[in-house]
Amino acid sequence: MKTNEDITRIPREKFEFVNHGEKIADRKFDDTPVSYMKDAWIRFRKNKGAIAAAIIILAIFAYSLLCPLLITNYDNTFMDVYYAKKPPKDLLLSKIGIADGGTNRDFSEKGLIKAIAVGIGAEDHDGTGDVTLEEGMESYYQPMLKIGEGRQMTEIKGAKPKTIYSARIDNYLEVGFMYRSIEQSEYHDIVAWQEETGKQILYPLVADNEYNIDATDANNWYKSSKGTPVSVDEYGKAQTIKYEPGMVLEDNYKRDADGNPVYFEYTGGGTTETAQYKVRVLYYNFYTYRNGFEPEYIFGTDSQGYDLALRLAGGIRLSILVAILVSAINLTLGALYGAVEGYYGGAVDILMERVSDILAGIPFIVAATLFQIHLSAKVGAVPSLLFAFILTGWIGTASRVRTQFYRFKGQEYVTAARTLGASDGRIIWKHIFPNSLGTIITASVLVIPGVISSESMLSYLGIVKLGGTDVTSLGTLMSDASSLWINYPHLMVFPALIISLLMICFNLFGNGLRDAFNPSLRGVEE
């Protein structure tokens, strides 16, 4: 009779595979061990929607960081009230008809001539008043980009019809001329700059007489009667000037005794350096002289005259920073609280749940409002907003973690670990928590779009004040645009688009992470 020792000594050559040498399948299996994180990455990168969302989020965040350095010429403090609420303008893109700073508008004949007169007056450097319509239309400073055919319209039944022109106008060049008060030294600096660059800033002053309907408007440089351009003959008789080929507007410049146009007027000051001059400038070139570059705003300007691209970048940084901080803090607090609840259960769970129920009954908007009223003056608007989000924000994460612990703490592998003497801490963080990681990470990532939405809502309603020079919010930008967006749609479109993209992409990204970190899918091929 053979003993167990004899059986264990059966020679190796007696054993062989049943299908030895046969091809079992076409597919080659890789038996290399794969770590948990590597397996999660393999599953995540197969989710095309999550990858696309991650790329968009990174692109938006990169824009918020690079915009102040590479995309715009301005800083947070730069503001120009004369260029407030202007549409996007880019000198390079405008050559192909994109971001040309223009808007479509209907003009009466008087309004059309006044707009065209900016380009005509800009070409009249010497104040001779003989620049034709065609020459003015070719001017670099001509605001009218396109003029359609005139059409007859009657505003009141029985009244004489008026000619209306549909046109596209450059909102930056439309500013045209304006009066400025400068020191004598700056006047000489401007003259030197003109000679150096060949660009004209100073233009003749306009006479304040019966042919000037508004002495404060520097664009009324031509003679007009009730806004209609006229030509006055030697007998003082005025004849209406029509919009037609060859049109020449008759200037109404202030002139000295010799008939030469006057370019400045002394208004006060005791020395040659402090003497104040009243001058009439072409603002587009005056802006270039002051700043060293032409006005160029890729996303236009906001309601106050700040660069909207820069304000958007600041709003994105603020929203993402607040959202990530809230998510991280709520994840930490919620994971700790929910793990203790779910693992120990019983009286501990009942007591901790009652605390959560009490806090959950506090309306978020009430908490945020109270924090802003009583705390923001001491610690600032952003920290008080963080407190409002954290006060009750962790409860949802704690509830999910608690549920997951109740689900997994009775599993066989947990019982085996406890039998082998594993401590509670090891069982919680080594055996149960990793199985809950997919749900927890998804919840924490999905907190981010919720925080962005809530922060924008609070800013939009004016509960949180984040509209200063140094910092702003996407919600504040939308709030400022709420009464203006019909006439200036870019003020609302860009911040709304950014918020929408962030919320959609973070949701897709969170769903991708959920699937990637789900241990039940480990090793599953899609």
Cα(428)–Cα(341) distance, integer angstroms: 11
Please report which helix (H) or strand (E) contains residue 316, including its range: helix 308-344
Q: Which pTM was predicted?
A: 0.83
In this predicted structure, what is the pLDDT of residue 71? Answer: 83
pLDDT score at 411 = 83
Q: How many helices (H) and strands (E) does the chain have?
A: 17, 10
Write out the H or E segment, with its range, that includes residue 280. Answer: strand 276-282
Q: Looking at residue 523, what is its pLDDT?
A: 53
Name the token pair of 242.
């029509």
Q: How confident is the model at residue 128 (pLDDT cuts 50, 70, 90)?
A: confident
60 contacts 316 by C-beta, under 8 angstroms? yes
Which is nearest to 54 in space by CA: 41, 66, 68, 36? 41
Give the rounded distance of the alpha carbon of 305 from its chain centre. Answer: 14
Convert the pLDDT of each residue in 515-525 to its tens digit: 787 666 555 55
pLDDT tens digits for range 305-357: 999 999 999 999 999 999 999 989 998 899 889 989 988 888 999 999 999 99
**Can you say whether residue 64 is alpha, beta or left, with left for phi > 0 and alpha for psi between -120 and 50 degrees?**
alpha
| Region of residue 181 (phi > 0: left; psi between -120 and 50: alpha; otherwise: beta) | beta
**Residues 471, 382: contact at Cβ < 8 Å?**
yes
Domain 51-67+306-521 in CATH 1.10.3720.10? The answer is yes
Q: At what angle do helices 308-344 and 490-516 cross, to 10 degrees?
A: 30
Q: Which of 13-17, 35-39, 40-44, 359-363 reaches the highest mean pLDDT?
A: 359-363
pLDDT in tens, 492-513: 999 999 999 999 999 899 888 8
Both structure tokens of 29: 């299996």
In the chain, residues under CATH classification 1.10.3720.10 are 51-67+306-521
Phi/psi of residue 162, nearest 5 degrees: -115, 150
Is the model's pLDDT at 167 over the cut of 90? yes
Query: Which has more pLDDT, 31 or 451?
Result: 451
Q: Could you tell me whether strands 228-232 and 238-240 are parallel, antiparallel, or unpaired per DSSP bridges? A: antiparallel
pLDDT at 113: 94
Contact 390, 426 (CB under 8 A): no
pLDDT given for residue 299 in this prediction? 94
Residue 376 in contact with residue 368, Cβ under 8 Å? no
Asked if residue 58 has pLDDT above 60, the reply is yes
Confidence class for position 46, pLDDT limits 50, 70, 90: confident
